[in-house]
Chains A and B, each alone.
Chain A
Amino acid sequence: MRTNLEYKAEFLNPDMPDIPYTTLNLGPTHPATHGIFQNILKMDGERIVSGEQTIGYIHRAFEKIAERRPFYQITPLTDRLNYCSAPINNIGWHLTVEKLLKVSVPKRVDYMRVLVMELARVTDHLICNSILGVDTGALTGFTYVYQFREKVYEIYEEICGARLTTNMGRVGGFERDFSPKVFELTRKFLAEFPKIWRQFESLLSRNRIFMDRTMKTGPISVERALNYGFTGPNLRAAGIDYDLRVADPYCSYEDFKFDIPVGTTGDTYDRFVVRNEEIWQSLSIIEQALQKIEACEPGVYHADSDRYYLPPKQEVYRNMEALIYHFKIVMGEIEAPVGEVYKAVEGANGELGFYLISDGGRTPYRLHFRRPSFIYYQAFPEMVQGQMLSDAIVVMSSMNVIAGELDA
């Protein structure tokens, strides 16, 4: 039997006689593509010779909208980038504006943000890995672990009232302090979730069928991954321990102890295992964050910056300055400095960057989202070349391409 690599080499041989290829249209609405994008694959029987993607089917012109909206109204837009882990996007955007305004936030706010972001990372990886299970034919794991996504949604609801598109926090902190119920629910989640997740892992990670389906499918070398601008779990699966939480710490991540899991081959199985391990690390970070929040002075939930953070409502009625700031912030007339910043956070899929050019107006002059899905999805044809059609589905699923983030 020939290996994939030999097969690939044969295709690259120019002296080979012509084979009639078939063209297969995968998408835009295909049950196996999670999201809306089209892959036009050139097939030799069941093997993929080459592929070409068409994207933009839910292009919503985020960057154009962002040029017409005041800063705080952009937070709801960021929700809809990677809707599987909306809080990371929200907080990434808040961090960008804070960097522009040079506002520093108290430690407790940092830890609260870390708590929320890691919960979001858990849910994102959970959905990616359980859907990978579904794509390889194991629906059971999905139905079990999805229950715990609902548990995380309950925590979000307790924090901000929304489930999926959270619009969480404000520039400078949170809109209100976490209620005791948040900590209670988080502790409950930390107590219950590991048991189910361990079961899920034992169901798949040493499962012969699953390993046969995922090992050596869609591998990418370190060099190609870097050249394609991979970040996040997909890059770490290829073998580079690059994580923005460590490389360029934000939100006091330097206070936390955690490991960065690294794969070796960059194939689907490695991506699966790296994400699994990241869930365990995230759970440990959440545990640490809970302890650190307890150790901080209670009741601090925003930066002490009355120019940029909405003053308390009773102050607005009594105090003229508070009224002015309230009006200015609500109308979006804050005095943003002229300048440009690039701030990136480690999103669930990789480096989620915000490049913001401010001309001092109430809206950004230019806001560019560096969307990890958009950048690494272009490597897809190269990763599936010479592989089977069913592998392509699994690779796409394990790359975790989110259509909202892909098209912006």
Chain B
Amino acid sequence: MVVNHEDIISHIKDNVGDVLKVIPDDYGVLIAEVSVHQVYKLISFLFKDLNYKFNILVDLCGVHYPDRKGEELGVVYHIQSMSLRTRIRLKVFVPIEKPEVPSLTGIYAAANWMERETYDFYGILFLGHPNLVRILNMDEMIDFPMRKEFPLEDPKRRDKEDFHFGR
């Protein structure tokens, strides 16, 4: 069953308000930017809404744009409606000084680890998360490794020094 993007957009407009800023996409997916204050309201509406029932959080990940002032860090949500087999992609951007995004753990149980992973990689704070601690990296780490300025290689490593190569 193919769902028209306009239907979803107008349905959201009628019920939640004018919250979507639709980003055109070449690949036929509904992508929209939402402000951080309205994202929880919007997603919980979409989750409960009987017409669409976006009941699966497919994916949640962070993204870092160092050049965009005031909206450096982003969170990308992929949510899916199992009954209609349709997906939408929502984006939220926050400034790096105050990276606070509401947590979706109250809606989707799957969001728990995904948000912990995003916190671990980008340092985005999910407000209301029950256990926002590092998940993949070591607890002692202070940096957020997926931010663009963080080097890929271990800065403390010794095995690539010129000394070893006779230089």
A and B touch in the complex (CB under 8 A): yes
**CB within 8 Å of B: which residues of A?**
55-56, 59, 61, 63-65, 67-68, 99, 224, 226-229, 240, 242, 247-248, 337, 339-342, 344, 351, 353, 355, 357, 366, 368, 370, 374-375, 377-379, 407-408
Interchain CA distance A408-B121 in the complex, whole Å: 12
Of all chain B residues, the one with the shortest Cβ separation from A365 is B63
B56 to chain A, nearest CB (A): 6
Of all chain B residues, the one with the shortest Cβ separation from A247 is B85
B58 close to A (CB within 8 Å): yes
Tell me if B146 and A339 are in contact (CB < 8 A): no
Count contacts between A and B, CB distance < 8 Å: 85
Q: Which of A59, A61, A344 contacts B152 (CB 8 A)?
A: A61
Please list 20 pairs of residues, one from A and one from B, whose beta carbons are closer than 8 Å in the complex, sorted by A's number: A55-B135, A56-B137, A67-B152, A226-B56, A227-B55, A227-B110, A228-B110, A229-B56, A229-B57, A339-B25, A339-B27, A353-B59, A355-B59, A355-B78, A368-B61, A370-B58, A370-B59, A375-B113, A378-B110, A378-B112
Tell me if A56 and B135 are in contact (CB < 8 A): yes
Interchain CA distance A353-B87 in the complex, whole Å: 13
Shortest 5 CB-CB distances between A and B: which pairs?
A229-B110, A56-B136, A368-B61, A59-B136, A370-B59
Tell me if B110 and A63 are in contact (CB < 8 A): no
The interface residues of chain B lying within 8 Å CB-to-CB of A337 are 26
Number of B residues, CB within 8 Å of A: 36
B98 to chain A, nearest CB (A): 22
Q: Which of B26, B29, B55, B56 has the most CB of A within 10 A?
A: B56
The interface residues of chain B lying within 8 Å CB-to-CB of A353 are 58-59, 78
**CB within 8 Å of A: which residues of B?**
25-27, 29, 31, 55-59, 61, 63-64, 76, 78, 82, 85, 87, 89, 108-110, 112-114, 117, 121, 134-138, 145-146, 150, 152
A294 to chain B, nearest CB (A): 33
Tell me if B146 and A64 are in contact (CB < 8 A): yes
Q: Which of B29, B150, B152 contacts A65 (CB 8 A)?
A: B152
Contacts A56-B135, A56-B137, A407-B136 given; indicate if A229 touches B152 (C-beta within 8 A).
no
The interface residues of chain A lying within 8 Å CB-to-CB of B76 are 355, 368
B62 to chain A, nearest CB (A): 8
Q: Which of A227, A357, A377 contacts B63 (CB 8 A)?
A: A357
Contacts A229-B108, A357-B63, A374-B113 given; indicate if A99 touches B27 (C-beta within 8 A).
yes
The interface residues of chain B lying within 8 Å CB-to-CB of A408 are 136
Q: Beyond A64-B152, A99-B27, A375-B114, list 5 extra A-B contacts (CB 8 Å).
A: A68-B152, A229-B109, A242-B82, A342-B87, A374-B117
Contacts A55-B135, A63-B121, A339-B27 given; indicate if A228 touches B146 (C-beta within 8 A).
no
Of all chain B residues, the one with the shortest Cβ separation from A339 is B26
Of all chain A residues, the one with the shortest Cβ separation from B65 is A365
B89 to chain A, nearest CB (A): 7
The interface residues of chain B lying within 8 Å CB-to-CB of A240 are 82
Interchain CA distance A351-B82 in the complex, whole Å: 13
Interchain CA distance A242-B145 in the complex, whole Å: 35
Tell me if A366 and B82 are in contact (CB < 8 A): no
A202 to chain B, nearest CB (A): 35
Tell me if A342 and B78 are in contact (CB < 8 A): yes
Interchain CA distance A247-B59 in the complex, whole Å: 17
Tell me if B55 and A342 are in contact (CB < 8 A): no
The interface residues of chain A lying within 8 Å CB-to-CB of B114 are 375
Interchain CA distance A374-B109 in the complex, whole Å: 13
B83 to chain A, nearest CB (A): 11
Contacts A61-B145, A64-B152 given; indicate if A355 touches B61 (C-beta within 8 A).
yes
